Amino acid sequence: MKTGEGEKEKESSVKIVPIGIKVGSQNTVITTSDWTEIETTCVKERSNLITGETEYIVGNEAAEMFGDGAEYMLRGGLPGNEEEADLLRRFLGRLIEKYDLPENSYVTYAIPAVESEVGINLFKKVVSQISIGWSGKEIWNDSFLGALALPGGIEIVEKTFLVINLGSTTTEVVAARKGEVLLSAVTGAVSGDLVDRWVKNEILNETRAALNIDLATARKYKEKYANLKSWENVQESVQLFRKGKSSFKISECIIKPIEDYLERLADFVCLEFLPELAETNFSVYKQVLAKEFILVGGMVEIPGLREKLGTIMSSQLGANVTMICPENPVAAPAKGAYTLSKYRTTTTQEQEK
């Protein structure tokens, strides 16, 4: 060993940077000690018109420039084949460059509870090929990690709790006890994407088939105007080719889809997940019913959704169900992942002292 190398090694071990990354079908979220960034999980592959070389535009830039034309490679939750894994590798590689994420880092990845072994193996291969996480990497269920973003932080790992994760392509419910996921269920029949499709159809009906917006626009309307707390009438007008001016009330086109979504969601939790939990583990079922349900995921960002869902589920279950959510539900799994990375790096460094 050259002189000074020991010192250098010691110094580098002190500077391990904890990072949390949640990879979802719609949003990828990165959290470090100072910041959280949200990027759309998509890539646009195209040939450069000048050089003829293949180039890749990723994330928010690709979503803004190409809308539905960009490829959302994780629609099933994880890569399903080598091509999707390759796009994921390019996507994460570009984000690492963009946000200057260091190699000497400890990275916890938050991923959905998919059963697909192929998907998980492809994901593991991708993370082994990218340049961050030299000091260590872990992969955990994202709903579970979302609970770590609550004010109590890592302490919740010792407890029994229920998380409902409202994503874009899926809804996931997880019952956990002492750091272990006891039961999880996923459905694609309740999802943010479905609401976008219903909003698009409502607008089509309202304008008597004059206006057929794309799904990216429907999602933007939902994200901007969905509000179950205060009702605001928002009118939109468009000038259509050969059809003249057409107006519709966006708020009315959004409210019904959200209400249908909440009904389906409550049915999924109360009529499918909880009965299964009662059958497989009655004591955990009793414990989670006596506590608050934890809500995470992008759809929880809708103002008033948490309270409305609490009311619907309370009436379905004949009990007083309360819901809590971390401060920033869309980023909660990444923040929880960061909390775990931070815990690991702090304990490692304490042991080294």
Ligand X SMILES: Nc1ncnc2c1ncn2[C@@H]1O[C@H](COP(=O)(O)OP(=O)(O)OP(=O)(O)O)[C@@H](O)[C@H]1O
- Residue 24 makes contact with Mg ion by CB under 5 A: yes
CB closer to ligand X, 76 vs 102:
76
Residue 71: Cβ-neighbour burial (10 angstroms; 0-12, 13-18, 19+): middle
| DSSP three-state, residue 164 | strand
**Quick one: angle between helices 332-352 and 5-14, nearest 10?**
140
CB closer to ligand X, 32 vs 169:
169
Residues numbered 155 to 174 that lie near ligand X (CB under 6 A) are 167-170
Q: Residue holding tokens 């976008």?
A: 196
Residue 299 binds which of ligand X, Mg ion, none (CB < 5-8 A, kind-dependent): ligand X
Contact track, ligand X, 303-332, x by CB under 6 A: ---------------------------x--
Q: How far is the CB of 261 from Mg ion (least distance, A)?
A: 16
CB closer to ligand X, 39 vs 236:
39
CB closer to Mg ion, 29 vs 156:
29
CA 63 to chain centre: 16
CB closer to ligand X, 111 vs 284:
111
Q: Which stretch binds ligand X (CB under 6 A): 21-29, 123-131, 229-237, 274-282?
A: 21-29
Q: Choose among 332, 300, 336, 307: nearest CA to 322.
A: 307
Q: How far is the CB of 306 from ligand X (least distance, A)?
A: 12
Question: In this structure, are residues 141 and 114 in contact, taking their beta carbons and an 8 Å threshold?
Answer: no
Which of 16, 18, 19, 24 touches ligand X by CB under 6 A? 24
Residues numbered 56 to 95 that lie near ligand X (CB under 6 A) are 77
Residue 77 binds which of ligand X, Mg ion, none (CB < 5-8 A, kind-dependent): ligand X
Residue 302 binds which of ligand X, Mg ion, none (CB < 5-8 A, kind-dependent): ligand X
Q: How far is the CB of 146 from ligand X (least distance, A)?
A: 9
Gyration radius from the chain CA atoms: 22
Q: Choose among 217, 221, 238: nearest CA to 67.
A: 217
Residues numbered 147 to 186 that lie near Mg ion (CB under 5 A) are 167
Q: How far is the CB of 328 from ligand X (least distance, A)?
A: 10
CA-CA distance, 296 to 11, in Å (whole number)? 37
CB closer to ligand X, 135 vs 219:
219
Residue 77: Cβ-neighbour burial (10 angstroms; 0-12, 13-18, 19+): buried
Which of 45, 71, 267, 301 touches ligand X by CB under 6 A? 301
- Each as own residue / partner, the long-range contacts of residues 118-125 (CB below 8 Å, 24 or more positions apart, any chain) are 118/80, 118/81, 119/76, 119/77, 119/78, 119/79, 119/80, 120/78, 122/78, 122/79, 122/80, 122/81, 122/82, 122/84, 122/85, 123/23, 123/78, 123/79, 123/85, 123/88, 125/85
CB closer to Mg ion, 32 vs 168:
168
- Say how many residues touch Mg ion, by CB under 5 A: 2
Q: 329 Cβ partners below 8 Å, 6+ apart? A: 146, 166, 295, 296, 297, 298, 300, 301
Residues numbered 206 to 225 that lie near ligand X (CB under 6 A) are 219, 222-223
Q: Choose among 32, 136, 45: nearest CA to 89.
A: 45
Q: Residue holding tokens 């019913």?
A: 289
- Say how many residues touch ligand X, by CB under 6 A: 22
Q: How far is the CB of 185 from ligand X (least distance, A)?
A: 13
Q: How far is the CB of 104 from ligand X (least distance, A)?
A: 28
Footprint of ligand X on this chain (CB under 6 A)? 24-27, 77, 112, 167-170, 192-193, 219, 222-223, 226, 297-299, 301-302, 330
